[in-house]
Amino acid sequence: MSRDFNEFKTLIKDKKVGVVGIGVSNIPLIRFLLELGAEVSAFDKRNFEDLSEEVQEFGETVKLYLGEGYLENLKGLDMVFKTPGMRFDNPYLQKAMEEGAVITSEMEEFLKYCQGRIIGVTGSDGKTTTTMLIGEILKKSGYKVYVGGNIGTPLFSKIEEIRAQDMVVLELSSFQLMTMTVSPEIAVVTNLSPNHLDMHKNMTEYIEAKKNIFKYQNESDLLILNEDNEITRSFADEAKGKVEFFSSKKENEDAYYSEGSLYLRYERVVDLEEMKVKGIHNAENMLAAFLAVEDFVTKDVMRELAVEFPGVKHRCQFIREFEGVRYYNDSIASSPTRTLASIKSLGKKVNIILGGYDKQLDFTPLAEVGHPYLKNIILVGDTKNKIKEVFSHLAETSGIHIPMQTAETFDEAVSLLKAVCNEGDIAILSPACASFDMFKNFEVRGDRFIELVNEF
């Protein structure tokens, strides 16, 4: 049962509150805290001129601490809202806590007080698509739906308008879950594989963070797990509530894929070939979504949405066909497992751009598992040499040679991609790496790819 938000309003009024990070998602939070009567200080590593005009409009209503050493002023506060990307054991946060500050996050407070029915989705891959699928199916059935968390609009400032009969669908990253002490009543874990090991100390810490999506559930709550993933399957042993499984490999699960069709409780809902989004990984996302909404919608609505859902931008997104070559933007693919899922779904060997920011992931599977799906490789970014090494090793040990070229810039990589393509080919940006070496985020990287492809 969610708590009465009046408790928070009473708690926060006239309190000294810090907000770490003044990005797009935290600006509505700052406004909301001001409306509730808090005395707000905001902290950001950027300088004043680099902040948005919205921040500059705060004027003297918000104390700003900016630039190098900005966290040295994290003192004398009653509560601190940390940005998801900041580790909980940051020494400045720890010191603030020792001095009496409550360390929290927008998402944690939202989960405590939201009155709507909450479905939370996490995983290494597929969580955004699954979140969007759940939201769209519920909307199609006539529910008032709020989609947020790691995507969409920040929701905490809207908490008082969300009613008990409304549906809330949240994509939750490991960073958001890491310090969570409350779980959604319906939790979905799409899959787990090594990811974000630049942020997490090790794989164990990453897995433990993900577990928080169900750790605080009660006996009446629901946990939906991928039966085919060894890690997620093991979560069932720790669940307090009901557990349901989806699978693309085993029949007779609660939801499963078999011989080209998606089933829910042994009833065929839709054929994969009818769906606009292709690939077994999208079948898995759809199955997870079916289980999440099963108590709220009919199978007919599930089927309608499955047939018409176009996919999500930057996720194996078809851009155009040029000179007989089909170009796809899969900039979201920031891990080898995500790239492997995409290239397996396209039905033929692809010409691909690989490389980017180094999250300390193992690229060996790209070569050992991915080579049958690859025609030409263009390497770019911080990890280009690491990826080149695993494919060179493959060639040395097994004689399997895939042509590779290296680019110094992203634009050059796209030019090289175009040059290696012939009529009938598929070309894709699916980097298996994050974007931060060259771009602000994967969306900016994907938008640049779309721009360049459309300029051909």
pLDDT at residue number 281 = 87
Cα gap 137→38, rounded to integer Å: 38
For residues 78 and 100, the answer to whether their CB atoms sit within 8 Å is yes
> pTM score, two decimals?
0.79
Confidence band for 54, pLDDT divided at 50, 70 and 90: confident
- The region, left, alpha or beta by phi > 0 then psi within -120 to 50, assigned to residue 404 is beta
pLDDT in tens, 207-230: 999 999 999 999 999 999 999 999
pLDDT at residue number 195 = 61
Beta bridge mates, 88 = none
Q: Considering the chain, what is the average pLDDT of its residues?
A: 93
pLDDT at residue number 85 = 78
pLDDT in tens, 20-41: 998 877 899 999 999 999 999 9
pLDDT in tens, 163-196: 999 999 999 998 899 889 999 999 999 999 876 6
Tally of CB atoms within 10 A around 116: 21
Q: Output the CA–CA distances (angstroms, integers) from residue 113 to 92, 110, 147, 196, 329, in the order listed.
A: 27, 5, 16, 29, 38
pLDDT at residue number 288 = 98
pLDDT at residue number 86 = 84
User: Structural domains in the chain?
Assistant: 13-104 (3.40.50.720), 108-308 (3.40.1190.10), 317-454 (3.90.190.20)
Exposed, middle or buried by CB within 10 Å (0-12, 13-18, 19+), for 168?
A: buried
Confidence band for 313, pLDDT divided at 50, 70 and 90: confident
Helical spans, DSSP H, in 218-268: 230-234
pLDDT in tens, 355-393: 999 988 999 999 999 999 999 999 999 999 999 999 999
For residues 316 and 279, the answer to whether their CB atoms sit within 8 Å is yes
The single-letter code of the amino acid at 29 is L
For residues 356 and 453, the answer to whether their CB atoms sit within 8 Å is no
Cα gap 110→408, rounded to integer Å: 44
